[in-house]
Structures are given as C-alpha cells and as structure tokens.
Chain A
Amino acid sequence: EDKVVQSPLSLVVHEGDTVTLNCSYEVTNFRSLLWYKQEKKAPTFLFMLTSSGIEKKSGRLSSILDKKELFSILNITATQTGDSAVYLCAAPAGGTSYGKLTFGQGTILTVHP
C-alpha cells in the first residue's frame, strides 16, 4: 500500500520567517509527487515534481524532490499571514491511473503577524 508521511504536523512561525516542510513517500511505480495548499476546505495545486534535484519555484515557494532518498521538501521564504494553511503532499497511483492520489496527513502552518 502506498504511503506518504509529512512532518512536522504543525508549525507556528512569525511573518518573515522561512519554513521547510517535509514529505517522505513509499509508492509503488512512483511517477511524481504533488504539493497542495488547503485553506478552508478546497486543496489548490502548487507543484508537481517528477525529477530529482530540479527545483520548482513559484514566488516565495519552492520545492525539490530526492528520488534516491524518497522525500521532498517545500520551502516558503519570507512567510506572510496569508501563507497560513494546511500543506498537503500527495503521490498519484502507479499503473494506468494517475488520478488516485495518496495524501500525507498534512502540515498545519500558522503564520503570526
């Protein structure tokens, strides 16, 4: 059974801090790893990572994948209160179906002013 584990489970920082969120995985026929941001209820897509060592970047967020050690990190620099959310990582199922996602339990990030 595919497994995705995130750490830490929660994190409290102040605006301007830099945070690193961790995601480790054990997935049969691994193809990619996804990061989502969940505010209120709907997860919104952040990144998809398929290759080791290639950083994906979007503004203050960046992410990288290590396929040898089976983990990914999500970095957020100069955090803002609007970054407060649950951050989820997920791996699509192998085989012919990409759609089924196995999610980690999420990291709750709280950014104080």
Chain B
Amino acid sequence: EAGVAQSPRYKIIEKRQSVAFWCNPISGHATLYWYQQILGQGPKLLIQFQNNGVVDDSQLPKDRFSAERLKGVDSTLKIQPAKLEDSAVYLCASSLVGRGYTEAFFGQGTRLTVV
C-alpha cells in the first residue's frame, strides 16, 4: 500500500516569496492534516480536512497561509508571503474516519528554509 506522498522534499526561498506544498494521502483516507514542525519542537496542527471540508484551522495563520483540498483527495498548502519564522518541516498526514481513534500516517515532509 502506498503511503502519504509529499513534494517537494526540500525548498529554499527568500523571505516575502511564495511557496506551495503538495500532499497525496493514502487512498481511501477521508481525513487529511497539515502539521508544521519547527526545529526542536513537536509538530503543530495547521489544518484538518475531512473530505474537502475544513474541520479545524484554528492554528493556521490565515493572513499568509492557505490550504485547499479540491475533490477531497490531494491537498496543497501555500504560504504567501513567507517569513523567516516559517522555516520548518511541513508534514502531511491522513487517516480513515472512524468512531474512535484511527491512526494517522505521516508523509516524509517538506523541509522549508526561508532566507
């Protein structure tokens, strides 16, 4: 079974530029998450989708970050304009929908460096 796919693996941009990340979840997983992991910290949830609807985006800096999940499958996360503090690993995860906890599977992440 294929895992969660993310691209690119690495990205270096200058501050004030824009960047986009792509995620393809495991087939059949209705729930998709984007996490931001700053060096030395645990991942922090940015946004959670169920199918193509947003479940939770309370920690997404909406003035510069946006995310969409058209057709309830692939998702893109965009930052525009980027700031130095956005340097982090961006992790995408997906899970099935269930009555209890269903394991979230993580992709390899995209390491963003803003210079």
A residues bordering B, Cβ < 8 Å?
4, 6, 31-32, 40-45, 48, 88, 90, 92-93, 97-106
Q: How far is the CB of B53 from chain A (nearest CB, A)?
A: 12
Of B16-24, B66-74, B79-87, B97-105, which stretch is located at the interface? B97-105
8 nearest CB pairs, A to B: A103-B42, A41-B109, A98-B101, A42-B106, A42-B108, A43-B106, A105-B42, A103-B43
The size of the chain B interface, using a CB distance under 8 A, is 26
Give the residues in chain B near A48, CB-CB below 8 Å.
Answer: 101, 103
Q: Counting CB contacts under 8 A, is B31 at the interface? A: yes
Of chain A, the residue at the smallest CB distance from B100 is A98
B residues bordering A, Cβ < 8 Å?
31, 33, 40-45, 48, 55-56, 89, 91, 95, 98, 100-109, 111
Of chain B, the residue at the smallest CB distance from A104 is B42
Indicate which residue in A6, A92, A105 contacts B101 across the interface (CB closer than 8 Å).
A92
Q: List 9 A-B contacts (CB under 8 A).
A: A40-B108, A41-B111, A43-B91, A90-B42, A92-B101, A100-B48, A105-B40, A105-B41, A106-B42
Q: How far is the CA of A102 from the CA of B101 in the complex (A)?
A: 14
Q: How far is the CB of B23 from chain A (nearest CB, A)?
A: 12
Q: Is the CB of B101 within 8 A of A32?
A: yes
Give the residues in chain B near A99, CB-CB below 8 Å.
Answer: 31, 33, 48, 55, 95, 102, 104
Q: How far is the CA of A90 from the CA of B103 in the complex (A)?
A: 12
Q: How far is the CA of A103 from the CA of B43 in the complex (A)?
A: 6
Give the residues in chain A near B111, CB-CB below 8 Å.
Answer: 41
Q: Which of B43, B91, B109 has the most CB of A within 10 A?
A: B43
Given contact pairs A42-B108, A45-B105, A92-B101, a sample of 13 additional A-B residue pairs in the complex whose CB atoms are under 8 Å apart: A41-B89, A41-B111, A42-B106, A42-B107, A43-B43, A43-B106, A45-B104, A98-B98, A98-B100, A99-B95, A100-B33, A103-B43, A103-B44
Q: How far is the CA of A68 from the CA of B107 in the complex (A)?
A: 34
Of chain B, the residue at the smallest CB distance from A103 is B42
Q: How far is the CA of A42 from the CA of B102 in the complex (A)?
A: 17
Of chain B, the residue at the smallest CB distance from A4 is B42
Indicate which residue in B40, B42, B56, B107 contacts A88 across the interface (CB closer than 8 Å).
B42
